[in-house]
Structure 1
Amino acid sequence: MVSTVFLVALGGAIGASLRYLTGVGVMRLLGPQEFPVAIITVNVVGSFLMGVFVVAAAQRGLTHFSPFVMTGLLGGFTTFSAFSLETMTLLQRGDSGHALLYVVLSVGLSVGGLALGLMAARGVFT
C-alpha cells in the first residue's frame, strides 16, 4: 500500500510539473490569452494519453502501472479543478459566451481525445 501511494505521489508530481511547463510553453508560444488555451490543451492531451494507456495496459498486461500513470501522472497533468476555476472566472468577468465555448470544447474535445487515444492504441496493440 505504501509503495502504491508513493507511485501515485511521484506520478502526480511529474504530471503537475508537466502541466506547469505546458502552461509556460503555451504562454511563450501564443503570448497572454484571454481564453484558457493551456488548460484545455492539457485536458485534451491528457485524455488522449489516458485512452492510449488504457488499451496498452490491458493488451500488454501493464495494469499494475495504473496508479502511477492514470491516478498520478495523468491525474496531476489534467486539470478539472483548474477547468472549473477558469469557467467561473470567465463567467464572473461577464464573458458567458467564452465560458460556454470553453465548457463545450473542454468536454467535447477531451472525450474526443480519449476516444482517439483508444482507437489509436487499439490499432497499435491489437
Structure 2
Amino acid sequence: MKVFFVMLGGFLGSISRYSVGEWIHIDNGFPLGTLSINLIGCFILGWFFTIAGRSRKVRAEDSLLIGTGFIGSFTTFSTFSVETMQLFQHGLFGQAFLYILASTIVGILLAFLGYRIALSSKRGAEEK
C-alpha cells in the first residue's frame, strides 16, 4: 500500500512539474523553469517535513504521498545537472555558475525558511 501513495504523489508531482515548466518556459538559455521548480520544492519539503515530524496528525502515508512522491517527482536534480552541462557546453559559463549557486544556496535557504515557518506556525498554534 505504501507504494501506491508514492506512485500517486509521483504522478501528481510529475504532471505539476511539467505544467509549471511549460508556464515558466523562457528561451534565453537560462533554465528558469527548472530553477523555480526546484526552489519551490526545497521550500515545501523543508516546511512539510518539519510539520510532519512534529505533528501526530500527519500519517506516514501522507509523508510518502507528499514528501517522497509529489515533491520527489516535482523537483529534479537530474534535469538541473543536464541543464548545467548544456550551459557549459554552449559557453554560457556565467549563467551556469549562477544556476549552480542559485540552485544550491537559495535552495538551502528556502528549505531553512520553510523549516522556520513551520516551527513558528506550530508555536503559534500551540499558544492559541
TM-score by length of 1: 0.91
Question: Which 4+ residue blocks in structure 1 deviate beyond 6 angstroms?
Answer: none
Task: Tell me the distance in 1 between the aligned counterparts of 2:59 and 2:50.
Answer: 10
What percentage of residue pairs aligned between the two structures are identical?
36
How many residues are matched? Answer: 121
TM-score by length of 2: 0.89
Task: Tell me the distance in 2 between the aligned counterparts of 1:33 and 1:86.
Answer: 13
Deviation of residue 63 (structure 1)?
Answer: 5.0
Gaps of 5+ in 2: 124-128
1:55, 1:125 within 8 Å by CA — same for their partners in 2?
no
Which string of whole-angstrom CA distances, capped at 9 and with x for unpartnered residues, describes residues 32-70 of structure 1?
A: 231100101011110000011011112222151221111
| Aligned-residue CA RMSD (Å) | 1.1
Gaps of 5+ in 1: none
Deviation of residue 96 (structure 1)?
Answer: 1.5
Matches within 5 A, 1:1-126: 3-27=1-25, 31-61=26-56, 62-64=58-60, 65-126=62-123
SS of equivalent to 2:30: coil
Q: 1:40 to 1:119 in 2, by over 3 A?
A: same
